[in-house]
A and B are shown apart, each in its own frame.
Chain A
């Protein structure tokens, strides 16, 4: 520390003492180192350390790559201001070194340390790139003082010695569709003084690209060694571009117009020339060359439901509740975060089960555009209201994108959610009323009716219920059927037997009658009149009974004529029958009054013969 420095310090301390008051050293000490990022070989540059408090004992780091050609010089400044009764004080102490690089390359200047109020503070480390010196220009128009810092005015009358142009830079020339590229127009100038740019800038239209503007920020100049010369460079404009189609897309040239400050040529040479030199502004059109971007299409095999996303993404989701009641809202949140063409990503949809009233999802975009591309997150809130009770599965949300790191399609999916919807209290009628069919049915619905009341009688004892069609139910049909069949057969047999008897009698009627007639003839010859008549009468009745198949008990003299008539027997025969019967009967009781026995016998025999030939 120099003596002068000490004195200044002391003076300033005395002056500032009342203002500092109770202020302590400890709060917000900042100790920073600064130096240009790029320096040129053979050119000195300044390294400064500043601290915002009074400090002592600066220890500069070892800097073997640089020669200290001057310094450290210290200077300090302070200011105090009152604004609305608030006192603000600033203080600054600066140490300055002048350094000269020894060799080209990138070097790090280690942190320095300083003591403030007994505590040691360290500054930041610095990175300095030493660029090679300008090559000796072949062209004769490069003056010897060409290499002076270009940002300052040059005392050169040589205008052509300056160089200014714009380069078009892209981060990639071969990309996939929708893959982000960074395009920047970079100004290079050396040996000229750029005053400003006019508004006459014509940027290309970027046809075939989606443009995402970047914050341009302050134009900062940097030194860059290019084609053997050190240029001041500045980024004029930069933007992110997303190719929207495949193929070779040309970006047209861009036109800029710079205003250069040029010293007028003066023939008068005097020592004041430099001080009173006059300058004029000259506009110079500058053209940034066009560039062609080779855009590859996305490979085949796009998954179904491809979202259009290209980049790298991740997915996360959450659900508001797993158990709700009807008419409650259910929210599913989905967050797509990552890097890529975030703006072009379609909002995935949820395939809600029926029974939910679905509303449009709410999308919140939270994107950040940097030179590295667009990153951030897209937060989607799906809202639905449960309208019917039940257990539902909300299917997984799938999100497909093209991964530019792995160059493949990837599909992400969230988890499935199971939701139990319970019936809300007092909601029973609403669910019914909401339907359209109910109103159609209202005409058959009695108003003011309700279900009938419960059964309140004591439960009856379990009534004996007959069995249905179980087990051997078919026996109930089979057994009676078989029994009746048996009965039927038996009955039939008996009837047939009966029928046979009458038939037999019918067939043997004549024979029996002839036998009785023979016996009657014997009795007649024997002179037994009563027996004869009896036999004749019996022969006639038996024959008739057998022939007619009518029991003898049912036959009388009165009905025999009717029966014979009903059997279509001729009246003559009927007369014969009644004659014979009445004669025989009469003779039995009054034999004397009767005719001859032979006549009766013959009449009876004739009657039987006649009836035998008659069809009955």
Chain B
């Protein structure tokens, strides 16, 4: 019990210091000292990763002209808090400033919609909703099995399959987000200009050029080189040129 109190006390204390850091970092930002503000935001993030702090860090990076770093911070903020309109707006704004214009044209529109739908809520929310709907499904199933009247049983049947389907879809969304967050396959190019090679070494043929801020999908990693997918293009670039979200 004592230990629990101690933990609570420590966490309260650290929260207080974060609050102080947070206010001073915001003050630095307001004064236009973006570099120091960004430094302070990063210090806070090391202790407690929060969407709001990532968002402010992204703003500080953006004001310094580090578009790629800003995009990275916004993406991380949206990972923690998918429903964050300011962050979405700023991310879009920063993405308009990057050089590479990679459109997801090659992907089926339904896949794009599905991804947008998946990103509406966080993994935990999807999971909780899925569980609730699963309960609903069970209730409806009972209604179907033991309903006294035909109408009741019919209603029960239809509600049951709808709720089960929704529950499964939501579970899939949660699983997909879980995979995204654990596998960390998405990355942002942080080096100004990087050449994608045909093989994971310096002597490989240059296939295409990527500029900073572009989002890529990272596959396997070999000797400090990683296989990246961007649009239809597949190539190898050094690990140092990108940062995983």
Contacts and interface: CB of A to CB of B under 8 A. Distances in A.
Interface in B179-227: 191-193, 195, 209, 211-212
A389 B192 contact: yes
Interface in A483-515: 484, 487-488, 491-492, 495
A437 B127 contact: no
Interface stretch (B1-9, B97-105, B106-114, B228-236): B97-105
Interface in B1-40: 15, 18-19, 22-23, 26, 29
B65 A484 contact: no
A451 B146 contact: no
B170 to A, nearest CB: 11
A467 interface: yes
Contacts of A388: 192-193, 211-212
A136 interface: no
A469 B178 contact: yes
A160 interface: no
A390 B195 contact: no
Interface stretch (A25-33, A473-481, A527-535, A546-554): A473-481
Contacts of A390: 191-193
A87 interface: no
A468 B193 contact: no
Contact of B192 (A355, A429, A454): A355
A451 B19 contact: no
B138 A355 contact: no
Interface stretch (A141-149, A361-369, A438-446, A555-563): A438-446
Interface residues of A, number: 50
Nearest to A466: B124
B124 A465 contact: yes
Contacts of A450: 93
A354 B19 contact: no
Nearest to A457: B52
A480 B134 contact: yes
B141 A455 contact: no
B175 A487 contact: no
Contacts of A435: 99, 211
A466 B129 CA distance: 11
Given A355-B193, A461-B15, A466 B127 contact: yes
A462 B212 CA distance: 33
Contacts of A462: 15, 48, 50
Contacts of B18: 459
Contacts of B122: 465, 468
Nearest to A454: B56
Contacts of A469: 123, 127, 174-175, 178
A615 interface: no
A535 B60 CA distance: 98
A450 B60 CA distance: 13
A66 B94 CA distance: 98
Contacts of B90: 451-452
Nearest to A469: B178
Interface in B47-67: 48, 50, 52-53, 55-56, 59-60, 62-67
Interface of A: 353-355, 388-390, 421, 423, 427-429, 431-432, 435, 437-438, 440-441, 444-445, 449-462, 465-469, 473, 476-477, 480-481, 484, 487-488, 491-492, 495
5 contacts: A454-B26, A466-B128, A468-B127, A481-B138, A484-B138
Given A388-B211, A452-B59, 7 more contacts: A354-B209, A438-B99, A441-B96, A451-B94, A454-B60, A455-B55, A459-B15
Interface of B: 15, 18-19, 22-23, 26, 29, 48, 50, 52-53, 55-56, 59-60, 62-67, 86, 89-90, 93-94, 96-101, 122-125, 127-128, 131, 134-135, 138, 141-142, 145-146, 174-175, 177-178, 191-193, 195, 209, 211-212
